[in-house]
Amino acid sequence: MFDLDSWLQSQKRFSLDYLRLGHKVAKITCLESGDSCRIKWSNSSLEYQLLQQESLWLRRLFRNQKYNIKKNFQGNFFYIFDFYEGVDVSKLLALDSMQEPEPNAYDFTEIACLLFEEIIQLHRFGIVHSDLKPQNILYYKGKIRIIDFGSAGWLGSAISLKKVFSYSKYFSLPNVLSYKAYHTDFDWYAFFLILSVLFDRELASLKQMAPADFSEKCMSFLDEMSLQAQDRLILERALSSISNSLLK
């Protein structure tokens, strides 16, 4: 099992100080450059394969990365990646519910529109993220960044070719395993569920709706976003595809 403190003490490139960002991810600092980095590790073969896949997708997506380093410490593999500033959307929602720093401090309609644009960009590149959820969306100074690409795949590529196909149960299509290939439905279904969390602060009722009611509710979210006609058409078509899938 990887021990972050032991590894930091064994090397001289990074500061001994760190900030935990999650269960198996932390922020560390390069002593020479002062750069902040993310270090991610795994404690199982499944987690390691997801880390490998994430590293590969980050290389494909962001050619100007400064850090994408695979390391081994006492038989445990881990990766050091670029650090991205921001707070994940799940934490913003928690702060908003506590009215911190003040009531309605965050513009969740803006976040929804920014997320739409990011998903469109991924799909134009032929990439399906497959694990969208509030925890995988960072918000910082009017911009967002989607993170955690361990489950991503090429649009139309066979799911069976992946060593690991992992997804978050609460934000995935209930029939996701019936799909043979990566489909934009994966991301758009998660997007509509995220809209439910952003606008209604709840998720369960939308997932339990019949397809027709699901579509009607999601259309109301689109009204709140005030989209341009061509963007709304993209989401209406995505919603139609998802509804047809849910009826099967």
- 116-131 pLDDT tens trace: 999 999 999 999 999 9
Query: pLDDT above 70 covers what percent of the chain?
Result: 96
* 15 pLDDT above the threshold of 60: yes
pLDDT digit string, tens, across residues 23-82: 899 999 999 999 999 999 988 888 888 899 899 999 888 888 899 999 999 888 999 999
pLDDT band at 195 (very low <50, low <70, confident <90, very high): very high
Q: What is the rounded average pLDDT of the residues 182-199? A: 95
- pLDDT of 94: 86
| Sheet strands (E) in 42-168 | 68-73, 76-82, 87-88, 127-128, 137-140, 143-146, 153-154
pLDDT digit string, tens, across residues 163-186: 666 777 889 998 888 899 999 999
Whether the pTM exceeds 0.85: the reply is yes
* 102 pLDDT above the threshold of 70: no
pLDDT band at 7 (very low <50, low <70, confident <90, very high): very high
**The token pair that represents 123 in the structure block:** 């799909």
Q: What is the rounded average pLDDT of the residues 197-212? A: 88
| Sheet strands (E) in 99-223 | 127-128, 137-140, 143-146, 153-154
**The token pair that represents 130 in the structure block:** 């497959």
Domains present along the chain, CATH in parentheses: 4-82 (3.30.200), 87-247 (1.10.510.10)
